[in-house]
Chain A
Amino acid sequence: MTTTTVSRRAKREIVAPPFQWTTILERAQAAGEPDWVIELRQQAWATYESMPMPNQRDEAWRRTDYSHINWNSAGHFAIPNGATVEHIPAENRAPLIGDEQGGLVAWMDGKLVHRELNEKITKQGVIFTDLHTAIRDHADLVKKHLFQKALKASEGKFAALHTAAWTHGLFIYVPRNAVVELPLHSIFYSEQTGATLGHVLVVLEEGAQATILHEYLSPEGDNHASYIGGTELLVGNAANLRYVSLQSWGHNMYEFSHGRGHVARDGQLDWIVGSMGSKLTKAFMQIALDGQGSWGRMSGMFFADGNQLLDHDTYQSHNAPHTTSDLLFKSALKDEAHSVWRGNIRVMPGAIKTDGFQANRNMLMSDTARADSIPGLEIEADDVRCTHAATVGQMEEEYIFYLMTRGVPRIEAERLFLNGYFWDVLERIPFEDVQNRLLADVDRKLLGMHTAKNK
């Protein structure tokens, strides 16, 4: 079953956020950025200025009305107030496997507040640091990759804004054939209202392997805040990256983000996203399978309540022969929550013997929740196999009844059912503690302890 509902809400005028080039330039200079970085910013700013704000007349934004954002609070750079890493909840900082952590790096409102890296990993030549430090210490490496292949300002208004005005970033570099056994963990935490524009740049050279958990967090707040993000994942020949990204913003957050992974010959990218928070999220995600024999998978779990809107726009791009892509996105929606998934599989000319799959499942837990699911195929090569499946269903009483007849109360039956529903995505997250943390989030939300603010 596929629904394609068109929003007919009154369309408000969309105002641009009040960012100014002069402020961006001042900040860049204050951070001691070299000319080449400032040039990147300036070009992107020109692109940004040449584009209109996206609105619901644009196909990609048709179902997503963000005109209610209050840029007066969300459109100024957040000012770090000296808060330390201890402001981040301990459970989010906890080691991922037992008491071992490959590394932990954390930002507060765009300011680096913590960095540690296991000595063994340092010895492997792995770079795990913030982008400004990397620009200073590893200029050539960063220059080669930052906003080059993956993310481009021309992709959209928010991509351009991000490229011009990014506030902070994570840089991970894994050299040739280095296998990072322990997971690397990073956190972007936003405590102040205002905007942060975080960047993630991960580079895996040929034969390298790594697992990364990246978290986006903010406490609940009353004033609108924004996160305008960009992610670049570059997976070299026969390299293997498992990248888990979890978003648990407060309900006052608006996220606009672009993420893109490129996978070279025989490389593998396993990309898992979990989103529970924000007032509104509009995320573009793309995996480009550039090299023959490469493999990419996107998995997502989303649980929205109140009047949240979670919109994911995915693209599986097969640019070479013998490439395999797989996507599984699952959402559950309570109250008046709304999810949008729009996903395309694209097979470029010559990308023969490719295999592309996408499945989107949505579970409505109230009569007023809504899910839009729009799969799409663009196939320009012969001898390919592409399939998709999209469903929107209810939380079936038949299942709940069955569980209840064994003595579990309704809420517990719903909890079990929902945990089971998300399990096939959750089990792809290789950390049991993180799985349990997410399950606890699901439970809290189910019990309504997390209701959205109607702002």
Chain B
Amino acid sequence: MGATLEIRNLHVSINGTPILKGVNLTLNQGETHALMGPNGSGKSTLAYALMGHPAYTVDAGQVIFDGVEVLELEADERSRLGLFLAFQYPVAVPGVSVANFLRSAINSRRKSINAEDQGITIPQFRKLLTQKMDLLGIDHKFAGRYLNEGFSGGEKKRNEILQLATLEPRVAILDETDSGLDIDALRIVADGVNKLKGPDLGVLIITHYKRMLDYLQPEHIHLMMDGRIVESGGPELAEEVEAAGYKPFFEKHGVEVTEE
């Protein structure tokens, strides 16, 4: 049996403003879920809170992954437990190359399992990285570039998926990984994710676009509005949103529509 990520009644605020107002969601390793919802409804907030971003305060609720209380862990511990977030807006880190960084990340994982571990050898690491770059159709030159610095929007997203492929988490959250990708890149990235999918990987896709869902075929769709998951269902839910937009759902769930 794979691990389960269970989010129970999660309340999160930023600078004292409540954003998440009781989120419940259960995702098993091996399943693919999609989280949809209008801009500002709290999708990224959920993703950040799950990873332990220090600006997001958890006011109530629980997150359990594989029997561990996630909310008590630091971001790095959550990662080593098997959670991964592909950022909607990855930051650039000048002077730190993609390869160097990934090697540190791999070595941190190995050291947490065995403090004596000497780390992955350079040839082993090169081989691993090359293989993952090929899987995602990424130019090998990428490895030497500084993390996200001067990357185009699409390159940043691919780099997130390269990290996903290299670190092999148990549950990955993809926060709008499809936005900013051109049609070909979207197909390559989605193919890459599909190759990674399997009984060992649970995926939570945050997206506004049906195209990504068509590629990744999630079995479960969740609809977030105003900091709550208001509906969950099968693929047909995405069809309804695609056809009629969010308005009927706003009305149905009595969510106030605020113009931004």
- Whether A407 lies near B96 (C-beta < 8 A) is no
* Chain B residues whose C-beta falls within 8 Å of the C-beta of A424 in the assembled complex: 94-95
Answer yes or no: B57 CB below 8 A from chain A CBs: no
Q: How far is the CA of A416 from the CA of B146 in the complex (A)?
A: 12
- State which of B51, B93, B147 has its C-beta within 8 Å of the C-beta of A405: B51
Given contacts A401-B53, A413-B76, A420-B146, contact A407 B109 (CB under 8 A): yes
**Which of B7-15, B79-87, B249-257 is the interface stretch?**
B79-87
**Are A406 and B95 neighbours in the complex by a CB distance under 8 Å?**
no
Given contacts A398-B91, A401-B54, contact A420 B96 (CB under 8 A): yes
Contact A412 B108 (CB under 8 A): yes
Contact yes or no, A397 B95, CB < 8 A: no
Q: Tell whether, in the assembled complex, residue B93 and residue A420 are in contact, meaning their CB atoms are under 8 Å apart.
A: yes
Is A402 in contact with chain B by the CB < 8 A criterion?
yes
Which residues of the partner chain A approach B100 to less than 8 Å between Cβ atoms? Answer: 416
Most buried by B among A399, A403, A410, A424: A403
- Collect the chain A residues with CB atoms within 8 Å of residue B194's CB: none
Partner of A406, one of B74, B112, B163: B163
**CA–CA, A409 to B107, complex, Å?**
11
The residue that B87 contacts in the complex, of A402, A407, A413, A416, with Cβ under 8 A, is A402
> Are B93 and A403 in contact, with the CB atoms below 8 A?
yes
Whether B80 lies near A407 (C-beta < 8 A) is yes
Known: A397-B54, A402-B90, A403-B101. A417 touches B96 (CB 8 A): yes
Q: Is the interface of A mostly helix, strand, loop or mixed?
A: helix
Contact of A48 with B by CB under 8 A: no
Interface residue B167 (Cβ < 8 Å from any Cβ of A): yes
- B96 CB contacts on chain A under 8 angstroms: 403, 416-417, 419-420, 423
Q: How far is the CA of A451 from the CA of B100 in the complex (A)?
A: 28
- A410 and B108 CA atoms in complex are apart in Å by 11
Query: Is A113 positioned at the interface, with any CB of B under 8 Å from its CB?
Result: no
Check if B105 is an interface residue, CB within 8 A of chain A: yes
B238 close to A (CB within 8 Å)? no
A410 to B95, CA, bound (A): 18
Contact partner of A404 (CB less than 8 A), chosen from B75, B146, B167, is B75
Q: In the complex, A411→B105 CA distance in Å?
A: 13
Q: Is B55 an interface residue (CB 8 A)?
A: yes
Q: Kindly list chain A residues whose C-beta atoms are within 8 Å of the C-beta of B51.
A: 401, 405
State in angstroms the CA–CA spacing of A196 and B74 once bound together. 49
CA distance A420 to B93 in the complex (A): 7
For A, the interface residue count at a CB cutoff of 8 angstroms equals 23
Q: Does A188 sit at the interface, judged by CB under 8 A?
A: no
> B219 to chain A: closest CB distance in Å?
26
B-contact 0/1 string along A421-437, CB 8 Å cutoff:
11110000000000000
Q: With A406-B79, A408-B104 given, is the CB distance from A421 to B91 under 8 Å?
A: no
Docked complex Cα distance between A17 and B51 (Å): 58
Is B76 touching A409 in the complex (CB atoms < 8 A)? yes
Looking at B78, B84, B87, B108, the one whose CB has the most chain A CB atoms below 10 A away is: B108
Residues on B with C-beta less than 8 A from A401 are 51-54, 75
Task: Kindly provide the distance from the CB of B5 to the nearest chain A CB, expressed in whole angstroms.
Answer: 15
| A392 to B185 Cα, complex, angstroms | 38
Bound form: Cα–Cα A419–B76 in Å: 19
A402 to B102, CA, bound (A): 12
With both chains docked as a complex, state the minimum distance between the C-beta of A429 and any C-beta of chain B, in angstroms.
14
Assess the B108–A402 pair: CB atoms within 8 A: no
Closest residue to B51 on the A side, CB-wise?
A405
Given contacts A406-B167, A410-B76, A424-B95, 14 further A-B contacts (CB under 8 A): A401-B51, A402-B87, A402-B91, A404-B74, A404-B76, A405-B76, A405-B85, A406-B102, A410-B74, A416-B96, A420-B94, A421-B94, A421-B95, A424-B94
The residues of B with any CB-CB pair to A shorter than 8 Å are 51-55, 74-76, 78-80, 84-85, 87, 90-91, 93-96, 100-102, 104-105, 108-109, 112, 146-147, 163, 167
Which residues from chain A sit less than 8 Å from chain B, CB to CB?
A: 397-399, 401-410, 412-413, 416-417, 419-424
